[in-house]
Amino acid sequence: MRLFAKDKNGHFIREVNGIKLPFPLTEFMKVRFVGYAFSAILMAISLFFIVTKGFNWGLDFTGGVVFDTHFSQPADLEKIRGTLNQNGIASPIVQTTGSVQDVMIRLPADNNDSAIGDHVKSMLQTIDPNIHINSIEFVGPNVGEELAQGAVYATLATLAMMLIYVGSRFEWRLGFGGIASLAHDVVITLGVFSALQVEMDLTFVAAILSVVGYSINDSIVVFDRVRENFRKIRRVETIDIIDISLTQTLSRTIMTSLTTLLVVIALFFFGGPSIHNFSLALLIGIGFGTYSSIFIAIAIAYDIGLRREHMIPPKVDKEVDDLP
């Protein structure tokens, strides 16, 4: 399996038809079946965990109790979580809402009873005697079910709109490849969350939609370069055009992905518990999104028949058009 193409003299190919490449020509399409096999294994494992273990739904989907509180001094979120855990309340979600004194506390559905308000207030008063409870809201499971359905519909609608956009902007084969790569990224991210039983809330949905947008943007950069090279480079096979285009965009893909992942890694380790799951979903999705835009999206488009004539508009005979 050779990654870099060489000429007959054994030199790495760095120029094709006068077009200079930033790297030696990388023959991505020759290893696409390895990518297919790797992705198939990952998706099979992901689907196995999704079916057998399901998901650890958060309060946004299962319901619970939400406290809107105001502390008289900057709140210590770790101390609040520790106090609640010590008093028998498991898995509380504690996060600030706008200022360091305004804190939202969300408790699981098994704490949904009329006495929970006084119970929580007495616990919080041990931390800050002057705490003020602005409101207490009880979220039922029906509301959580509606949110879950809305999240699914939002993701499916996003995929559908992406398919329509890419199919109309480029070519339906590219649209199909792009959507297949997006589904690949989403399924693997869901599989990791299912396997680790990481809590899924509405921030996870936001992360999935962010991954979809990031991944399709990466694929569109490749698609656009493929279309451009079909028009510029003649007497070259389709598979070589794709390899040239991927090699040309490789530096952009690497730099964009690395800088994005550095920020996401910082959020993951230093962003705090409130965005931990959000950053984890981005970390997984963006990593596999970069991989799929190279080895899945354009490769599938090629294998279902993408050719030069599909990307170049037909010539119009002006003399025929001018006839009355």
Q: Do 166 and 225 sit in the same domain of this protein? A: yes
Q: Is residue 13 part of a domain?
A: no
pLDDT above 60: residue 313? yes
Q: Do 158 and 304 sit in the same domain of this protein? A: yes
SS3 annotation, the chain: CCCECECCCCCECCEECCEECCCCCECHHHHHHHHHHHHHHHHHHHHHHHHHHCCEECHHHHCEEEEEEECCCCCCHHHHHHHHHHCCCCCCEEEECCCCCEEEEEEEHHHCCCCHHHHHHHHHHCCCCCCEEEEEEEECHHHHHHHHHHHHHHHHHHHHHHHHHHHHHCCHHHHHHHHHHHHHHHHHHHHHHHHHCCEECHHHHHHHHHHHHHHHHHHHHHHHHHHHHHHHCCCCCHHHHHHHHHHHHHHHHHHHHHHHHHHHHHHHHHCCHHHHHHHHHHHHHHHHHHHHHHHHHHHHHHHCCCCHHHHCCCCCCHHHHHCC
Give the number of other Cβ atoms within 10 Å of residue 284's Cβ. 20
Identify the CA nearest to 163 among candidates 174, 155, 151: 174
Q: Do 93 and 219 sit in the same domain of this protein? A: no
Domain total of the chain: 2
Mean pLDDT (the chain) is 83
Give residue-wise pLDDT tens across range 179-204: 889 889 989 999 999 998 888 877 88
**Residue of 65 and 291 predicted with greater confidence:** 291
The pTM for the full model equals: 0.78
Identify the CA nearest to 78 among candidates 272, 269, 270, 279: 272
**Residue of 172 and 8 predicted with greater confidence:** 172
Q: Is residue 292 part of a domain?
A: yes
Q: Do 44 and 133 sit in the same domain of this protein? A: no
Whose tokens are 């399901």? That residue is: 54
Q: Do 119 and 172 sit in the same domain of this protein? A: no
**For residue 8, which amino acid is it?**
K
- Judged on CB neighbours under 10 Å (0-12, 13-18, 19+), 22 is exposed
> In terms of residue numbers, what domain contains 153?
26-54+142-308
Report pLDDT for 284: 92
How far does CA 20 lie from the centroid of its chain? 33
Q: Is residue 314 part of a domain?
A: no
Q: Do 33 and 100 sit in the same domain of this protein? A: no
Q: Quickly state the pLDDT bin for 113 (edges 50, 70, 90).
A: low
CATH code of the domain in which 170 resides: 1.20.1640.10
C-alpha torsion sign, points 304, 308, 311, 314: negative
Q: Is residue 9 part of a domain?
A: no
Report pLDDT for 110: 67
Give the separation between CA 255 and CA 259, rounded to whole angstroms: 6
Q: Quickly state the pLDDT bin for 252 (edges 50, 70, 90).
A: confident
Q: What is the mean pLDDT of residues 169-174?
A: 82
Beta-bridge partner residues of 151: none
Query: Domain boundary residue among 122, 138, 154?
Result: 138
Among 173-177, 194-198, 308-312, the minimum mean pLDDT is found in: 308-312
Identify the CA nearest to 91 among candidates 57, 125, 135, 53: 57
Beta-bridge partner residues of 137: 66
Q: Is residue 2 part of a domain?
A: no
pLDDT above 80: residue 251? yes
Residue 123: which residues within 8 A CB-CB, separation 6 or more?
Answer: 83, 84, 87
Q: Do 70 and 208 sit in the same domain of this protein? A: no
Q: What is the mean pLDDT of residues 71-97?
A: 85
Whose tokens are 């990466």? That residue is: 218
Q: Is residue 319 part of a domain?
A: no
pLDDT above 50: residue 62? yes
Q: Is residue 203 part of a domain?
A: yes
Query: Domain boundary residue among 138, 164, 182?
Result: 138
Q: Do 269 and 295 sit in the same domain of this protein? A: yes
CATH code of the domain in which 132 resides: 3.30.70.3400
Report pLDDT for 37: 94
Q: Quickly state the pLDDT bin for 319 (edges 50, 70, 90).
A: low
Q: Do 48 and 197 sit in the same domain of this protein? A: yes
**Residue of 296 and 140 predicted with greater confidence:** 296
Q: Is residue 20 part of a domain?
A: no
C-alpha torsion sign, points 110, 115, 120, 122: negative
Give residue-wise pLDDT tens across range 66-76: 888 889 888 88
